[in-house]
Structure 1
């Protein structure tokens, strides 16, 4: 999914998105149906990853969670990130990438239209959620090592 596609999806939900100057360490913010994306983010690939997480806040978070020293706020942050991972990299995309002959994490990130860091974080989250592997249809997606195996039918 591209930045433009996700942007369009968000605006159809009634969310306003603004690219604005934010502090260097802040990539995006969400509040009251408004998403701010740091206008200094250089690529649409990075922007789609940030937008997915901020949309995750729209769907999963409530209240002010900026204080990450609070456990409840960290949990909401994790839920929002998980939503973003599952939006941009649903499990069936690993199987599709395998069918397209994708051979490594760099190619996979490029194929999925996400950053390598986002892909790595998504894989780590999937390991937390499913363990080292999960069934996807008639395939097994393994996260350690990363790969896909097709089962006999």
Structure 2
């Protein structure tokens, strides 16, 4: 899936995606209960690469697809749980284990090479490796 297809996927799932200039965030997702709507806001001026935009949008779509939302008063451990749920959804959608294994069999084994191949950031590749190898996203403990 490329960036344009990801935007289309979000819209097809009933998720509003809008661009805003935001002073303190690159992106966020929300659920509006009174309208039964999910929405994503992205600041397009904060993306350094297409892979950065794709990975950020994929993460926010993960929040929307798993209904993993929180607010500023939510406890830190609950926030982390929702962030992890969004990351896991994104990994399973865009870096499935069989695709990573196939890439490795073809000699694509470096993090930067995998990121380039799948059109995502190196950070997401590291999380995917950690998720599939260790069953968690604690990259700082393993990689």
Which band: TM-score by shorter chain?
A: 0.7 to 0.9
Normalised to the residue count of structure 2, the TM-score between the two structures is 0.78
CA deviation after TM superposition for structure 1 residue 63, in Å? 4.7
CA deviation after TM superposition for structure 1 residue 13, in Å? 0.9
- Higher helix fraction (1 or 2): 2
Unmatched runs of 5 consecutive residues or more in structure 1 = 131-143, 146-153
Q: CA-atom RMSD, angstroms? A: 2.3
**Cα shift readout 1:8-59 (whole Å, capped 9, x = no counterpart):** 11111111111221235x2211113111112121322111111111111112
Normalised to the residue count of structure 1, the TM-score between the two structures is 0.74
Q: Which has the larger radius of gyration?
A: 1
CA deviation after TM superposition for structure 1 residue 113, in Å? 0.9
The match for 1:9 is 9
CA deviation after TM superposition for structure 1 residue 118, in Å? 1.5
CA deviation after TM superposition for structure 1 residue 123, in Å? 1.7
- Identify if the C-alpha distance between structure 1 residues 105 and 74 changes in structure 2 by more than 3 Å, giving closer, same or farther: closer
SS at match of 2:135: helix
The match for 1:129 is 135
Q: Please, which of 23, 34, 39 is the counterpart of residue 39 of structure 2?
A: 34
- Identify if the C-alpha distance between structure 1 residues 68 and 44 changes in structure 2 by more than 3 Å, giving closer, same or farther: farther
SS at match of 2:108: coil
- Higher strand fraction (1 or 2): 1
The match for 1:116 is 122
- Say if 1:49 and 1:115, in contact at 8 Å, map to a contact too: yes
- Identify if the C-alpha distance between structure 1 residues 30 and 113 changes in structure 2 by more than 3 Å, giving closer, same or farther: same
- Identify if the C-alpha distance between structure 1 residues 104 and 8 changes in structure 2 by more than 3 Å, giving closer, same or farther: same
- 1:70 correspondence with 2:76: yes
CA deviation after TM superposition for structure 1 residue 128, in Å? 3.4
